[in-house]
Amino acid sequence: MTVTIDPTAATRTVTIAALATRHGKELLFAPRLAAIGIDVQVSPVDTDAFGTFAGEIDRSGTARAVVEAKARAAIECSGASIGLASEGSFGPHPVVPFARLDTELVAWVDAASDRTIIEGVSEFSHVPGPVVLEAPPGDIAAEVLPISTGLADQAAIVCIEPADGSRRIVVAKGVVDPAVLRGAIDEAFVRDAGRVVVEPDLRAHLCPDRRRVIAAAIDRLVLRLASRCPQCDAVGFGRLRTMPGLPCALCDLPTTEVAVIVDGCEVCGCERHTERTGRADPTHCDRCNP
């Protein structure tokens, strides 16, 4: 996305925003928010306390609740009036069998006005799935290493899932070297505490596919922050919700596809409804594809 920069921006006061991250997300946030006069600075927040992808710590709420909590923690730790954060979730695609969806949320919290703006993007995940090992692999490059080589810079995690269902044991994280991977797998089997799993490390600095989706979510946030309400001039005019009901291309009945996009202002309540044109694919129709 290209953001057009106002030529008068250099004369404006730069707003400092504190970002909650331990995984290099400032490299994604900073250049994009600089285009609208926001200087991103990392806040010393222990974001792992809100949950980890490896499973040592469960997420402490919904993704929306956690991303806002992280942004508010960034404010508390830094003393800045603006807080930023992101939170990712992986799950099955609602339509495509066996496909995974990566949903990334980004939050902007203004402590002075007590306003929160959250934007998000959901896209197909290209990250390889986990590999469950019944025995130490004979050829680690062929059987396991694709976890860390399927995408450039993608790291791996080696863990043990106990047979009694207790919390998984993380043996190694951030693994990209074949020798280190072999050693971690051998260590896991020596422990003999459950099944051994090798999976992608989904922390942002070690997962390039997540960085791609996070960047897309930040781009949406930038557009939102650059948009002002036509009624009260408050920042953040943008999508509030959508309404289903786009007619089916086969039977013309309403489907689950979005029919109306509602943009609005959370400050004064101004709303604009945009109706989508065209027809929905019959796969989204309860009558044609029950």
| Each residue's pLDDT tens digit, 105-122 | 999 999 999 999 999 999
158 has pLDDT over 60: yes
Mean pLDDT of the residues in the chain: 89
The whole-number average pLDDT for the span 261-265 is 95
How far, CA to CA in Å, does 60 sit from each of 53, 84, 109, 176, 200? Answer: 12, 18, 19, 29, 22
Q: What are phi and psi of 216, to 5 degrees?
A: -65, -40
Question: 19-78, pLDDT tens digit by residue?
Answer: 999 999 999 999 999 999 999 999 999 999 999 999 889 998 999 999 999 999 999 999
Question: What is the percentage of the chain residues whose pLDDT exceeds 70?
Answer: 91
Q: Could you tell me the pLDDT band of residue 11, with boundaries at 50, 70 and 90?
A: very low
At 193 the three-state DSSP class reads coil
Res 147: pLDDT: 61
Please check the confidence at residue 265 and state whether its pLDDT lies above 70.
Answer: yes
User: Residue 109's pLDDT is what?
Assistant: 97
pLDDT at 2 over 80: no
The answer, yes or no, to whether residue 218 has pLDDT greater than 50, is: yes
CA 68, 209, 57: angle at the middle one, nearest 5? 45
Structure tokens at 107: 């939050």
pLDDT for res 272: 96
* pTM, to two decimals: 0.86
At 90-99, the pLDDT tens digits run 998 877 888 8
**pLDDT score at 7:** 41
The arithmetic mean of pLDDT across residues 228-256, rounded, is 94
Element (H, E) at 117: strand 115-124
pLDDT for position 1: 42
pLDDT number for residue 250 = 94
Looking at residue 3, its pLDDT comes to 42
Here the tokens at position 60 are: 């402490």
Instruction: Flag whether pLDDT at 267 surpasses 60.
Output: yes
User: In angstroms, rounded to a whole number, what is the distance separating the alpha carbons of residues 263 and 266?
Assistant: 10
